[in-house]
């Protein structure tokens, strides 16, 4: 038997899918602007589209993480959520804050700090919202019948993510100090505590999908947590190379950034090894595809492509170019986007009772989105390398270089169309599952 309070997870997943669609719309606005079709500039300037695009990325992933926690924690703790009504209050308030922020960006109501553009009054509302979320999750966990390593790692990742949001709220008159602490939020989220969230979700899914003993799978989690903290914290230094801080960060950032791919390598080996050990009898093939895909693609996007331009000797040329976009798109997609889609694919049949385990729509969603994203990554990479040579080596003007590399964005837009087509199939599949029912949860396997 599942737990009826898990139904709240569905609505967080629905919000996540809506925000993903909006993020893709603004991505296309930027893409068309890059190839000279900037007809929406008067309504949506490029800087506004970029701010909305990157902020929606963070919020749709966080909505997915919250939905995952509301699904996983009751099951791991073996008890209902302590207060379902407050969970719905938290969902509605999160959506309201998001709408106010996005609308505000179009009227230049923001702080103007990359990735942390949200205005200060909304920062406080975000803190209250996340405190409510953490209170519900942690109270459920500690009042539960059991406290598993999977649940503790997931909760620890969510708690640290909340705590690391606070340095981004510190006021500074110095641009150097502001940048120094801003990266505590941005880097230590995506290359630190979010990896713990990913590891917790990955562990839960592998336990359910492979049939391998919990003890075996959760031992791997300790390895992943250790490597994440060893490399991720001091790996922040690769953002400090050229912002005006002490030169020691060139050494510290370079050494520990070189270790960062190990956490993603451990997750990839972990997932593949558990799959090979498992019974391979679980009928939900799409959830398994997304789970294994997340582990492997995250290693390529976050691990290998991150390492490719993280050392100071390379980063001095690639810093602030499209090479970063190459790494960023595949990293976020593999490490976090795919794991959110994996937990949604696993939980939807259990919540709704509709067993679309291996549908044509599901397969099209998986392959079109992944092939499209790989194509986008290659286009960003080729454009980025060309940009590095033209700007850094041949000293061409920035805007002149953008004209020269615009052809690569035509290719990127074609690949993005394929990616979006895959996401559309996924959302249709989500819609076809319908809404959750108590009967479906009672009938679903433990």
Helix (H) or strand (E) holding 10: helix 7-34
Q: Widest CA span of the chain, in angstroms?
A: 66
Q: What is the pLDDT of residues 104-153, one digit of tens each?
A: 999 999 988 888 999 999 999 999 999 999 999 999 999 999 999 999 99
According to the model, what pLDDT value does residue 41 have?
Answer: 87
Retrieve residue 254's tokens.
Answer: 């370079």
* 175 close to 245: Cβ distance less than 8 angstroms: no
Retrieve residue 320's tokens.
Answer: 């602030």
Which spans in 194-337 are helix H? 194-210, 214-232, 248-259, 261-277, 285-298, 305-308, 312-318, 322-332
The list of the chain residues with pLDDT below 50 reads none
Q: Determine whether 314 is exposed, middle or buried from the number of CB atoms within 10 Å of its CB (0-12, 13-18, 19+).
A: middle
Q: Name the residue among 358, 209, 205 with its Cα closest to residue 278.
A: 209
* 108 close to 175: Cβ distance less than 8 angstroms: no
Q: Give residue limits of the domains in the chain.
A: 1-147
According to the model, what pLDDT value does residue 445 have?
Answer: 66
According to the model, what pLDDT value does residue 446 have?
Answer: 60
Q: How far is CA 23 from CA 27, 49, 117, 423, in A?
A: 6, 9, 16, 12
Q: What is the pLDDT of residues 197-228, one digit of tens each?
A: 999 999 999 999 998 999 999 988 888 888 88
256 vs 311: CA distance, rounded Å: 10
Residues sharing a CB contact under 8 Å with residue 62, sequence separation 6 or more, in sequence order: none
Retrieve residue 177's tokens.
Answer: 């100090």
């Amino acid at each position: 038997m599942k737990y009826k309070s898990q139904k709240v997870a569905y609505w967080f997943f629905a919000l996540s899918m809506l925000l993903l669609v909006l993020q893709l719309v603004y991505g296309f606005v930027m893409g068309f602007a890059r190839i000279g079709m900037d007809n929406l500039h008067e309504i949506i300037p490029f800087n506004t589209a970029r701010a909305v695009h990157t902020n929606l990325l963070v919020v749709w992933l966080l909505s997915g993480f919250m939905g995952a926690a509301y699904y996983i924690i009751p099951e791991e703790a073996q008890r209902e959520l302590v207060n379902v009504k407050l969970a719905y209050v938290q969902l509605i308030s999160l959506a309201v804050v998001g709408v106010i922020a996005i609308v505000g960006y179009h009227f230049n109501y923001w702080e103007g700090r990359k990735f942390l553009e949200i205005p200060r009054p909304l920062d406080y509302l975000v803190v209250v919202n996340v405190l409510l979320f953490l209170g519900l999750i942690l109270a459920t966990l500690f009042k539960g019948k059991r406290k598993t390593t999977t649940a503790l790692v997931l909760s620890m990742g969510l708690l640290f993510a909340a705590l690391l949001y606070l340095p981004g709220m510190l006021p500074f008159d110095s641009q150097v100090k502001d940048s120094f602490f801003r990266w505590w939020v941005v880097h230590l989220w995506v290359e630190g505590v979010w990896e713990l969230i990913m590891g917790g979700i990955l562990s839960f899914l592998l336990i359910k999908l492979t049939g391998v003993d919990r003890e075996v799978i959760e031992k791997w989690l300790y390895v992943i947590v250790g490597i994440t903290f060893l490399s991720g914290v001091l790996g922040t230094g690769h953002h400090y190379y050229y912002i005006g801080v002490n030169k020691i960060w060139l050494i510290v950032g370079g050494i520990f950034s070189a270790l960062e791919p190990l956490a993603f390598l451990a997750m990839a080996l972990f997932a593949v090894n558990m799959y090979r050990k498992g019974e391979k009898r679980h009928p939900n093939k799409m959830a398994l595809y997304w789970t294994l895909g997340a582990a492997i693609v995250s290693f390529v996007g976050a691990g290998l492509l991150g390492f490719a331009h993280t050392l100071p000797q390379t980063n001095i040329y690639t810093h602030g170019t499209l090479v970063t976009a190459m790494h960023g798109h595949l990293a976020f997609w593999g490490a976090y986007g795919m794991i959110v889609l994996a937990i949604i694919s696993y939980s939807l049949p259990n919540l709704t009772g509709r067993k679309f385990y291996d549908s044509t729509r599901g397969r099209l969603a998986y392959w079109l989105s992944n092939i499209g994203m790989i194509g986008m990554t290659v286009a960003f990479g080729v454009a980025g390398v060309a940009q590095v040579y033209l700007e850094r080596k041949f000293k061409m003007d920035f805007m002149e270089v953008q004209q020269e590399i615009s052809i690569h964005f035509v290719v990127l837009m074609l690949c993005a169309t394929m990616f979006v087509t895959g996401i559309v199939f996924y959302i249709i599949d989500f819609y076809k599952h319908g809404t959750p029912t108590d009967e479906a949860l009672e009938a679903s396997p433990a």
